[in-house]
Amino acid sequence: MGQQSKVNKMQLDIINFDGKAVGKVELADSIFGLDPRADILHRVVTWQRANSRAGTHAVKTVSDVEGSGKKAFKQKKTGNARQGEKYNVHMRGGGVVHGPVVRDHSIDLPKKIRSLGLKMALSSKAKDGSLVVIDSEKLSAAKTGAFAKQLKKLNLTSALFVGADALDENFKKSAANIANIDALPTIGLNVLDILKHEKLVLTADAVKAVEARLA
């Protein structure tokens, strides 16, 4: 009989919003214990940013400028260089040459690279000690001021909160107006948002959901 491969796991304390440890959670090394590679993270971030561009930038060329086709002024005896029409690119109010056009900026990236990039982003936070696991994101009331004080107590000035499924409404309302505090469900977790924040805060349920998503 062949030996079964054992998945190594690292342990992390689970805390509540008061900063007290209420348990422990095991994190899979295959997801939270990789050595981050800058080239992989760069490829994924470039892919994300390129795909988020609208591509609706455009300028008017000579054929797009509307107006009369009448000659700007007579050919001779004006002291000016002769001009055919007033909408040429070198004329004031004329068309623009070599300007941006409407186009698709999206690029392709293999799914394996996208998945590996997400694992490396999670691993980078775990290795830096910037990964925090809380028992739940649920709040009893939507109070921005009270929630801000709890964040200060936990030393969270720039953090991305990740819940397993739909986030608690009181939590979303409380965090909405606090600078550098964002929240996502597990399905929306991405490399760019992880790297933009100093801390990554996962709920205990989100840890299981992330491991199931990236298994």
Q: Would you state the pLDDT for residue 6?
A: 53
Amino acid at 182: D
* CATH assignment of 9-52+106-214, among 3.10.20.30, 3.40.1370.10, 1.20.1420.30, 3.40.50.720: 3.40.1370.10
Closest CA to 126 of 11, 16, 2: 11
Q: What does the pLDDT read at residue 8?
A: 61
Bridge partners of 12, per DSSP, are 25
| DSSP 8-state secondary structure symbol assigned to residue 54 | -
Q: What is the pTM of this model?
A: 0.81
What are the residues whose beta carbons fall under 8 Å from the beta carbon of 24, sequence distance 6 or more?
11, 12, 13, 14
Predicted confidence pLDDT, tens digits, the chain (215 residues): 444 445 567 889 999 888 888 899 999 999 999 999 999 999 999 999 999 999 999 999 988 888 777 888 888 988 888 888 888 888 888 889 999 999 999 999 999 999 999 999 999 999 999 999 999 888 888 889 989 998 998 999 999 999 988 888 898 999 988 999 999 999 999 999 999 999 999 999 999 999 999 98
Determine the Cα–Cα distance for residues 162 and 189; give it in Å rounded to an integer: 7
Residues 183, 171: contact at Cβ < 8 Å? yes
Q: Where are the domains of the chain?
A: 9-52+106-214, 59-99
